[in-house]
Amino acid sequence: MRVRQVVGSGMRRETYTLVGDDGRVIELVDDYIALCTDREHSPNTLRARAYDLKEWLTFLRLLDIDPLTAVPSMSISSPGGCADRAGSASCGRCTSTRGPGGRRPRPTAC
């Protein structure tokens, strides 16, 4: 995967997109970056978000998690951890309960 700069023409400003290993634009990211472009986010912000999404998708790929079904609890633990992994029981360390005042403590990784 790589981030590609798209130079604007006319009223359209410069923006960024994410291209997969097969050379095709990743539509999920492209739609989000287009929304941010329409909301007039700065080019530096668009670039940073594109690179952040690239890293996030790479991380999900390493864990064999589909980006469309990913939820935050799936990535709380380290890649060798047990949180929400099929066929493994939770060790109890990577789950968190609400603390005093209803605040959620930082989860710990397995």
Could you report the per-residue pLDDT of 67-79, keeping only the tens digit for each?
888 777 655 555 5
Distance, in Å, from the CA atom of 77 to the CA atom of 110, rounded to the nearest integer, reads 6
Q: Which residues pair with 15 in a beta bridge?
A: 6
Same structural domain, 66 and 81: no
Distance, in Å, from the CA atom of 109 to the CA atom of 94, rounded to the nearest integer, reads 5
- Helix, strand, or coil here: 28? helix
Q: Is residue 56 part of a domain?
A: yes
Q: Is residue 14 part of a domain?
A: yes
Residue with tokens 């329409």: 38
Q: Is residue 109 part of a domain?
A: no
Same structural domain, 18 and 38: yes
Same structural domain, 41 and 17: yes
Percentage of residues in the chain having pLDDT higher than 70 = 60
Q: Is residue 110 part of a domain?
A: no
Q: Is residue 66 part of a domain?
A: yes
Q: pLDDT band for position 83 (50/70/90)?
A: very low
Domain of 53 in residue numbering reads as 2-70
Same structural domain, 85 and 43: no
Per-residue pLDDT of 27-54, as tens digits, reads 888 888 888 888 888 888 989 999 999 9
Whether the model pTM is above 0.85: no
Amino acid (1-letter code) at residue 14: E
Amino acid (1-letter code) at residue 47: R
Same structural domain, 83 and 54: no
What total number of domains does the chain contain?
2
Same structural domain, 27 and 64: yes
Same structural domain, 15 and 62: yes
